[in-house]
Amino acid sequence: MKKEELDHVQKWHVIYTKSKWEKKVDGLLIKKGFESWCPVQKRERQWSDRKKIIEEPLFRSYVFVKVSKSAYTALLSTMGVVNFLYFEKKPAIIRDNEIEAIRKYLGLSNATIQVLDMANIPASTKVSINQGLFMGQKGEVVKSSKKTVYVQLESINMMMIVEFKVEEVSVR
């Protein structure tokens, strides 16, 4: 492919938003014609007088957007967008299968994902997932117990915490 053609290839990126602007930015990007996704999960919140189910963004201050290099400027000019998330001095690119794995998992009725910043947790063992929705996925185990494995998504330097049975994970 020529450089001009590569500039028009759309890939999933992560953009950093103003604090608590994830859903607003997602809506603004969709209105501008971008393919945008702010993954949310339902949480029960307790107020002094009532309980309420709310939709909370899964990744605080992050929104996924499928965009080409040629559209970077239009994207960055959107109100609430701070910048791209960078990985190795380039805008982070998320693989389609990682986006689909998150979408599938969030589609399950009892799905809950906890997200932690990898900056404070050292990586250790590389693993492959052998069964379930994440079958074929590879990552690094940061911590494990009898049934919980912390798996790092390599492309965004974030970690999804998903419960696996010991037999579902094998060392690469």
The DSSP output letter for 52 is E
pTM value surpassing 0.85: no
Whether the pLDDT of residue 122 is over 50: the answer is no
DSSP state for residue 85 in the 8-state scheme: P
Q: What is the pLDDT of residue 103?
A: 86
pLDDT of residue 136: 75
* Number of separate domains in the chain: 2
One-letter identity of residue 54: I
Nearest to 100 by CA among 149, 134, 71, 61: 134
pLDDT at position 121 over 60: no
pLDDT of residue 118: 44
Q: Which domain holds residue 60?
A: 3-94
Residue 87 shares a structural domain with residue 127: no
Residue 48 lies in a domain: yes
| Coil, strand or helix at 78 | coil
Q: Which neighbouring-strand residues pair with 77?
A: none
Q: In this structure, are 34 and 77 located in the same domain?
A: yes
Final residue in a domain of this structure, among 64, 94, 124: 94
Higher per-residue pLDDT: 27 or 121: 27
For residue 137, the domain's CATH number is 2.30.30.30
Give just the sign of the alpha carbon dihedral 83, 19, 156, 35. Answer: negative
Output the domain CATH number for residue 39: 3.30.70.940
Q: How far apart are CA 144 and CA 129, in angstroms?
A: 14
122 and 79 housed in the same domain: no
- Return the closest-CA partner of residue 14 out of 117, 83, 70, 97: 83
Q: pLDDT at residue 2 above 60?
A: yes
